[in-house]
A and B are shown apart, each in its own frame.
Chain A
Amino acid sequence: MKFTLSWLKTHLETDADLATLTDGLTNIGLELERVQDRAAALSAFKVAYVIEAVQHPNADRLRVCQVDTGSGTVSVVCGAPNARGGMKAVFAPPGSTIPDSGIVLKIGEIRGVKSAGMLVSARELGLGDDHSGIIDLPPDAPIGMPYTDFAGLGDPVIEIGVTPNRGDALSVRGVARDLAAAGFGTLKQLSSIPIAGNGPGRLRWAIEIPDACLWVLGRTIRCLRNGPSPKWLADRLVSIGLRPINALVDITNFFTIDLGRPLHVFDAGKVSGDTLSFRPGANETFRALNGRDYTATPEDCVIADASGVQSIAGVMGGADTGCDEATTEVFVECALFDPVRVALSGRRHQIVSDARQRFERGIDPALMPHAIEAATRMILELCGGEPSEIVAAGAEPAWQRTATMRLDAPEKLGGLAVPPDECADLLARLGFTLAARDAASLTVNVPSWRNDIAAGTPLDQSPDLAPDRAAASAAGRVPMEQEADLVEEILRLKGLDAIPPVSMPPLGPVPAPTLTPRQSRETLARRTLASRGLVECVTFSFMAARHAALFGPDDAALRLANPIASDLDQMRPTPIATLALAAQRNATRGFPTANLFEIGPAFRGTAAEAQRRVASGLRSGPTPRDWREPARAPDAIDARADALAVLSALGVPMDALTTTTDAPDFYHPGRSGQLRQGPKTILASFGELHPRVLAALDFAGPVAAFEIQLDAIADPKRRRRAPADLPAFQPLRRDFAFVVDAATPSDLLLRAARGAAHGAERALIAGVALFDVYAGDNVEPGRKSLGLEVTFQPRDRTLTDAEIEAACAKVVAAVGKATGAVLR
């Protein structure tokens, strides 16, 4: 919302300076966005008279001008094609700064001729794009007058942000009212003397959809003469960025800003028939005032004459019945529309207009009679003409209501005790008249322009609430909303700075844990992965559908209806997908080695439980070159190590994990697996990415990736730890070399060896480790040799050689039975 200081002062009697007013606006919730004080930047530039302009002796395109600046005559060298003797121009004296270039002018010589200043173009003053010549002022411009005064630019332009609840502040008057209430002056009275009309006029209203158009006033003015607006009106519109069109149109734009009251003028001569109807659109196309064609749907409320749609109500008028310089008879529309209807029509047709902005926030219904009289008066002043009587349809809706607050509410809700008299006074200044007051509460009448207070709009309660809970909370809302509405008004006028801050009262001497166990797992997983050398990333949750399809089902339910870009249109099935793209980007930048991880959502549906929290990571590119170890490609076992490290850190019992070779399809089928706890629960997948996936990403790879299902990991149980096992006897170790079919998983042998001892000897085998995998010479083709180190832990005495022999034999037997392996 933009307005100028002088415009504000047509409604506000104030001595406050600009800075005081703008600070005040921000404090009361009408946040200052910008002040453009052009007078300050342009104060040095004055109207001057060019006495003569003669050819420069040494330059073809320059002229030497003798300029009367009002305080003496100076010589100025000028290159503008339109510089000529006898013109009025804008003079920049030495010492002034040219806004466009930032250059500070000095007295100088140009090709041997003295130049003591400059004649400037509009662009050089930052006032537009015109640089075809210097500003050419009318002959009556007073010499020596500051140009900003002459051009009406001396008026600071104030721009504020108006929050969606404050339709009333989308008007200069509304802003003035708020400032007056906050103590920055006095609101001027609106003069309101009705203008007597002569006869009913030719046009009348018909409302077919009373829920869309509640009330409308209209008036015909004939025998008028339309033309350009007078300078004061044109300047006012230009100053806030509106283009003057003609007096009739400008008057409607003026009242839109001045009173927040959009009006429309039909050229009565162009209206077919004698009735303008508010009716549903019938899929008719019409051309709007912005020059575009729109097709009004049955959901839109349109204004139509005998020939069809002439306007989308409250949004934009039509070109066919618009007023131009030839208009001699006008029909003024002043209507009240349902805000929701206007909002939906505006959104449907993607029309943003000053009218729509105000209608959808709510218009002051009581202002309508005044507004049409004020508009009539201005039309008569500027265009002449003969007004008809006002014609109306519908009726003023009942907007009257009260709001009540308890007297201690400012303290109980706002933390600031405000004396009851002061509450009543502050509200009165905003237009809330006192309806009732007792020892405990205050009831006020809500003014017509404040549709946001005690609005009582319907609740939208959760359908899952128990009926008594729903009813109790709904009943509580009514008084508390009114109270909050009024407390907010009181506090914003008092200034929130007045509220003393209070630190949060502690809930206990030591704060309870902030994280749930699941959240703690996530944090621990993050630290574990980072401490293993992976760098945490945050990648987008959406990606290109064609890439997402490489990593999961092509799910139309997870495709955005309105993506911001075609490569961000699908919710990712796994962060591995976006991490792979990130690694590929790093490789393209010249950093082929990227060890990355991300903890975030993987989307397998739109339900809450289908949005899983996962910890994903990958290692791509060669390991770093080292003087001791050659670089190598990351492999599935690296990814398995990362996954196991996280699961171990999160307290998953490692002995209970099994590995299956059924990882998702985006992995290499022969170089991937899943880590399971029990038959059903998948805790993680790992492996090298499928070569086809890498090729589709145009990524050389290989890439070893993993994904840990954080939601699948059980909360740790609170359990006392068993006493530590610290046998007094030394463990002893024996190595075994087993030859087994090459396809046999090593895990089978390890498990069999670990479980080789039974019963009382169960604890004898304390550990089994794989130390060698060999295939080649001395091992038959299709078989491999696995070296296992088994640790035996005697419990109560040193083992005899015979006992050791027997234990080793059990290991060989168990492994052989489970896998067919034989000792090498």
Chain B
Amino acid sequence: MSDDLTSLRRETDAALAAASELRAWDAIRVGVLGKNGKLTALLKQLGTASPEERRERGAALNRLRDDLTAAIEQRRASLDAAAMDARLAAERIDVTLPPRPSGGGLIHPISRTMDEMAAIFGAMGFEIAEGPDIESDWLNFSALNIPAHHPSRQELDTFYLPAASGASPPVLRTHTSPVQARAMLTREPPFRIIAPGRTYRSDHDATHSPMFHQVEGLALARNLTLGHLKGCLSDFLRAFFGLPSLPVRFRSSYFPFTEPSMEVDIGWNRRTGELGGGGDWLEILGSGMVHPKVLANCGIDPRAWQGFAFGMGIERVTMLKLGIPDLRPFYESDLRWLRHYGFNPLLPAMLHEGVGA
């Protein structure tokens, strides 16, 4: 290679090596390969050479052009990479920074239990029915075979509101059972309902709150028996607590609105509070076959229709399931308690996702 070509090559390599940024690099590219570039000038001079000389020098120039082009592009690539590295280094942040605070909302355990009850009883064909918190004396008591002088009326510690003149005073419902009467008056049997909701009794201590929640159940058909009641409640309790072999015991009892009546116990360990085993029994709900007087009070012929009813304390089963030791914090809205026992709103109670956990 002639000297001028060698020196152009050397000169260009040196300049490229010295170019530390894209502008300097571009000046080199233009100075060599551009319209007025040094290599371009050498190529132009080729026309004045002899044919012999032209062939030889032409080939050398072409080789040099390819080499320089490659060297220039390679430098460009390395400059780009360095620039990207520098940018990325400059853009580095502290990725351990806490994100913007958001979310944190929760569902109250009482709502969760009601949702779970709806899911489980729903699978057994029950619909949810409702009634108001302030009820008439008739719906809360008389319809349910609890006449004014009945001893069990006193045991219920009823809250009363002022009476309109001549009428008996409205009450804060002492149980969800008035929804039974409402359902019988408005629905055509057969039907199956549950009615979760607020209830009120004038009682306030470590284990009683003046407001609490119950779920009422009522199933009417031509042929439902105590056997169905036992099956329905056993199935529910085992699904709700997630204990397929939870011991369930039924005992004779009395409620004015059912006959025969029975109380339901589940097996637990009195000492540890653990459900399922332990040999002790824990009373958990009351139930029975709907009393013929209740049916008749609500216009349903007891000869044609029969069925069962039950009532269960929602806080009670919630406390048992979640291991909550004290009743009162349910209503105190202490954020610390709510955060501890609350539920993720994006985990609604659905049977296919499991509610017994």
Query: Which residues of A come within 8 Å of B, CB atoms?
Result: 26-29, 31, 163-166, 339-340, 343-344, 347, 360-361, 411-416, 457, 459-462, 464-466, 469-470, 472-477, 479-481, 484-485, 487-488, 491-492, 496-497, 499-508, 511-516, 519, 523, 526-527, 529-542, 556-565, 568, 571, 579, 582-583, 585-586, 589, 591, 594-596, 599-601, 603, 606, 608, 611, 623-624, 626-629
* Closest residue on chain B to residue A484 by CB atoms: B259
* Closest residue on chain A to residue B100 by CB atoms: A626
Contact check: which of A505, A531, A557 meets B105 at CB < 8 Å?
A: A531
CA distance A286 to B191 in the complex (A): 56
Q: Which of B3-11, B27-35, B49-57, B127-135 contacts A (4 or more CB under 8 A)?
A: B127-135
User: Secondary structure at chain B's binding surface: helix, strand, loop or mixed?
Assistant: mixed
* Closest residue on chain A to residue B249 by CB atoms: A497
Given the known interface contacts A462-B185, A562-B160, A564-B210, the answer about A536 and B106 at a Cβ–Cβ threshold of 8 Å is yes
* Closest residue on chain B to residue A603 by CB atoms: B134
* Closest residue on chain A to residue B230 by CB atoms: A501
Say whether B227 contacts A627, CB under 8 Å: no
* Closest residue on chain A to residue B295 by CB atoms: A473
- Binary per-residue interface labels of chain B (272-308) against chain A in the complex, 1 for a CB within 8 Å, 0 otherwise: 0000000000000000010111011111111110100
Q: How far is the CB of A496 from chain B (nearest CB, A)?
A: 4
CA distance A497 to B281 in the complex (A): 14
Say whether B345 contacts A527, CB under 8 Å: yes
Say whether B154 contacts A347, CB under 8 Å: yes
Say whether B301 contacts A476, CB under 8 Å: yes
Say whether A626 contacts B101, CB under 8 Å: yes
Say whether A530 contacts B345, CB under 8 Å: yes
Is the CB of B162 closer than 8 A to any CB of chain A? yes
Q: Point out the residues of chain A lying under 8 angstroms from B346, CB to CB.
A: 527, 531
Q: How far is the CB of B340 from chain A (nearest CB, A)?
A: 11
CA distance A626 to B101 in the complex (A): 7
CA distance A591 to B161 in the complex (A): 36
Q: How far is the CB of B335 from chain A (nearest CB, A)?
A: 5
CA distance A502 to B130 in the complex (A): 27
List 8 additional A-B contacts (Cβ < 8 Å) besides A557-B162, A628-B100: A164-B254, A484-B260, A511-B122, A540-B211, A557-B161, A562-B202, A564-B159, A601-B133
Q: Which of B131-190 contact A (CB under 8 A)?
A: 131-134, 138, 142-143, 147, 149-152, 154-155, 159-162, 164, 169-170, 172, 181, 185
- Binary per-residue interface labels of chain B (243-257) against chain A in the complex, 1 for a CB within 8 Å, 0 otherwise: 000000111111010
Say whether A476 contacts B304, CB under 8 Å: yes
Is the CB of B118 closer than 8 A to any CB of chain A? yes
Is the CB of B228 closer than 8 A to any CB of chain A? yes
A-B interface, 9 closest residue pairs, ranked by CB to CB distance from nearest: A415-B227, A514-B122, A29-B252, A163-B254, A530-B345, A582-B333, A415-B225, A492-B252, A488-B260
* Closest residue on chain B to residue A594 by CB atoms: B335
Given the known interface contacts A462-B297, A477-B302, the answer about A538 and B133 at a Cβ–Cβ threshold of 8 Å is no
CA distance A347 to B134 in the complex (A): 24
Contact check: which of B111, B170, B226, B331 meets A414 at CB < 8 Å?
A: B226
Contact check: which of A166, A480, A600 meets B292 at CB < 8 Å?
A: A480
Given the known interface contacts A163-B253, A460-B147, A531-B105, the answer about A536 and B111 at a Cβ–Cβ threshold of 8 Å is yes
Contact check: which of B128, B181, B232, B345 meets A504 at CB < 8 Å?
A: B232
Q: Point out the residues of chain B lying under 8 angstroms from A539, CB to CB.
A: 331, 333
Is the CB of B13 closer than 8 A to any CB of chain A? no
CA distance A760 to B223 in the complex (A): 65
Is the CB of B108 closer than 8 A to any CB of chain A? yes
Query: Which residues of B come within 8 Å of A, CB atoms?
Result: 97-98, 100-108, 110-111, 115, 118-119, 121-128, 130-134, 138, 142-143, 147, 149-152, 154-155, 159-162, 164, 169-170, 172, 181, 185, 192, 198, 200, 202-204, 210-211, 213, 219, 223, 225-228, 230-232, 234-235, 249-254, 256, 259-263, 289, 291-293, 295-304, 306, 330-336, 338-339, 342, 345-346, 348
Q: Point out the residues of chain B lying under 8 angstroms from A565, CB to CB.
A: 204
Say whether A561 contacts B132, CB under 8 Å: no
Q: Point out the residues of chain A lying under 8 angstroms from B138, CB to CB.
A: 460, 462
23 contacts between A and B (CB under 8 A): A165-B254, A413-B289, A414-B260, A415-B227, A460-B142, A461-B296, A473-B300, A496-B252, A502-B225, A504-B124, A527-B345, A527-B346, A533-B104, A533-B105, A536-B108, A537-B333, A537-B338, A557-B164, A561-B159, A586-B334, A601-B198, A608-B134, A627-B98
Say whether B100 contacts A561, CB under 8 Å: no
Say whether B101 contacts A568, CB under 8 Å: no
CA distance A506 to B106 in the complex (A): 34
* Closest residue on chain A to residue B233 by CB atoms: A501
Say whether B332 contacts A412, CB under 8 Å: no
CA distance A533 to B150 in the complex (A): 48
Q: Point out the residues of chain A lying under 8 angstroms from B293, CB to CB.
A: 457, 459, 477, 481
CA distance A565 to B98 in the complex (A): 46
Say whether A514 contacts B126, CB under 8 Å: yes
Contact check: which of B185, B192, B211 meets A542 at CB < 8 Å?
A: B211
Q: How far is the CB of B294 from chain A (nearest CB, A)?
A: 9
Say whether B151 contacts A412, CB under 8 Å: no
Given the known interface contacts A531-B345, A541-B198, the answer about A413 and B299 at a Cβ–Cβ threshold of 8 Å is no
Say whether A561 contacts B223, CB under 8 Å: no
